[in-house]
Amino acid sequence: MKLETQEDAVASSFMQAQMWSITNGVPVHMGEFGAYEPRDIDSRERWTTAVRSWSESLDIPFSSTFHLAIGSSEQVLGSMIRMGVLGERD
């Protein structure tokens, strides 16, 4: 049995939401999303990027809030989160 990756789980959730939206004639809006901070920054960026990418690919509007860590990693963290949420590159 193959285990589902996090990216597969994200894709599956978005496909289910899109099917529900089409079936019921109701638009979907994805509210606030983000990644829990104890995870490493690379994992957080990958997950956030996957969520944003799937939302955009299926034309599902989204909103997101995030906070910056206080300390020496603030600039790095802010940059990584912006890349994931907004697709921005410094």
Q: Are 44 and 52 in contact (CB under 8 A)?
A: no
CA atoms of 83 and 78, how far apart (whole Å): 9
CA torsion angle for 64, 70, 75, 77 (degrees, to 10)?
A: -50
Cα angle 49, 8, 61 (rounded to 5 degrees) comes to 45
Q: Are 87 and 52 in contact (CB under 8 A)?
A: yes
Q: Are 41 and 83 in contact (CB under 8 A)?
A: no
H/E segment holding residue 20? helix 6-24
Whether the per-residue pLDDT at 74 is higher than 60: the answer is no
pTM of this structure:
0.64
pLDDT in tens, 22-55: 999 999 998 877 766 676 777 777 877 888 888 8
Whether the per-residue pLDDT at 70 is higher than 70: the answer is no
What SS3 state is found at 49?
helix
